[in-house]
Amino acid sequence: MKKLFIFLFILLTAVSIGLLMQHDSGYVLINYSEWLLEMPLWLTLLGLGAAFFVLHKLLNLPRFSSRLLSQYRLWSEQRQYHKIQQQTNHGLIQIAEGNWKAAEKILLKAASKTPAPLINYLAAAKAAQEQGHYEQRDEYLRLAHRSTPNAEVAVGLTQAQLQLSHCQYERCLATLNHLRSIVPHHPYVLKLLKHLYNKINSWQELHTLLPALKKQKVFGPMEMEAIELEVYQHLLLAAGTAESQFSLQSAWDAIPKALQKHQQLIKLYTDLLLKQDSGAQAENILLTAINSEWNNELVKRYGLIKGANLPAQLKKAEEWLKVHAKNPILFLTLGRLSTLNQLWGKAQYYFEMSLELNPSSETYLEIGKLYEQLHEQEKAFAAYRAGLLLKPVTE
């Protein structure tokens, strides 16, 4: 609306001036020295207007030229940036396709032109490692850190990953320890440390790392439990090879109570106790575990242990029949414990009950040994044969 009023004002002014000029055009007389110049008034005004316009443009020419130059520079920089970006993307594609030599060359060329070459140097370091150029890899990592000093963690993590994949475990450990001094709770630093300790079998160090892994939730609950089980298994094995009951007991006591109920650890611990002739302690561990939570594997193991009091051990196992009267594993265990107590008739009964509920090669082997003990060779041979015929089916 405002523009419309301005247009109408100009139009009315022009029409008014036109009418005045038609009525009386007037003239302008300029006398200079011997020169005399006479022209219509409207032409003089038009000339002055044109001269003012030209003078205005001339005065603004430097500013216009400067603006034009700035726009050209901006266009040129954007074009160069786009070109560098295309080169970097091309280099990363070569990395993904495994063209290491071409990728290294392209990435370095783009790095020399870009003001932010961090990605180029990190990717070039990977390409160099894949070609076996480890010194060159380290040089690219140094250049990456120099180009972006505040990206020390990113550069360090890349370096640690490359060192780990190249089995440079000592260097990797030094890199990760340095990173942990900078970012103690960084999840990926902790994750790489876990993988490194696994590689070098540093179970004690990994045990020390467990609280941080759990607190930072580096792994999911199931994976974390698997890691803990692996760590405590190795610590138990190490304590068991020391042939010291105190060392083995200390290793067991260091395991969290929740994990002490895990079948895998109980089996290993009881095996190690048996090697140290600690059958009574192994029996107590198994008895506590089975009474807490029924487990067929632990029940089977209970029948293989010679406790301090074999009759009492058999009696405890027979009490389980009240709840598990149709469990073939329990009958197998009772048969074995009866054999240890030299109760041959009872042992035969329990083995036969186990076979009736679920024929297994393991039970046939046990009853075959019992028949041999009783000098019944034909029955022993028949039991062994039945077990061998059954074995391919059950396995």
Tokens describing residue 333:
């265990």
Which CATH number fits the domain that encloses residue 381? 1.25.40.10
| Residue 266 confidence (pLDDT) | 93
In a domain, 335, yes or no: yes
In a domain, 382, yes or no: yes
In a domain, 368, yes or no: yes
Q: Round to whole Å and give the CA distance between 292 and 285.
A: 11
| Residue 391 confidence (pLDDT) | 57
Q: Helices 221-241 & 263-275, crossing angle to 10 degrees?
A: 0
Block means of pLDDT (10 residues each) for the chain, 395 residues, are 66 61 58 62 62 62 61 58 76 85 85 80 88 88 88 92 92 94 94 96 95 94 94 92 79 92 92 88 92 92 91 94 94 96 95 94 94 92 91 47
| Residue 106 confidence (pLDDT) | 86
Q: 26-35 b/e with 16+ CB inside 10 Å = b? A: eeeeeeeeee
| Residue 276 confidence (pLDDT) | 86
Q: Round to whole Å and give the CA distance between 380 and 209.
A: 54
Per-residue pLDDT tens digits for 294-341: 999 999 999 999 988 999 999 999 999 999 999 999 999 999 999 999
| Residue 383 confidence (pLDDT) | 92
β-sheet bridge partners, residue 132:
none
β-sheet bridge partners, residue 39:
28
In a domain, 358, yes or no: yes
| Residue 394 confidence (pLDDT) | 41
In a domain, 385, yes or no: yes
Residue in this structure with the two tokens 């094995």, named with its chain if needed: 237
In a domain, 324, yes or no: yes
For 50, the 3-state DSSP assignment is helix
For 62-207, strand residue ranges (E) read none
| Residue 246 confidence (pLDDT) | 79
pTM for this model (two decimals): 0.71
Phi and psi based region of residue 46 (left: phi greater than 0; alpha: psi -120 to 50; beta: remaining):
alpha
Please give the residue range of the domain that contains residue 377. 320-395
In a domain, 373, yes or no: yes
Let me know how many helices (H) and strands (E) the chain has, helices first. Answer: 20, 2
**From the centroid of its chain, how far is CA 11?**
76
Structural domain count of the chain: 1
In a domain, 292, yes or no: no
| First and final C-alpha spacing in the chain | 94
Long-range CB contacts for residues 354-359, cutoff 8 Å, separation at least 24? 354/328, 354/329, 355/328, 357/326, 357/327, 357/328, 357/331, 358/328, 359/386, 359/390
| Residue 335 confidence (pLDDT) | 96
| Residue 321 confidence (pLDDT) | 94
Q: Round to whole Å and give the CA distance between 90 and 161.
A: 23
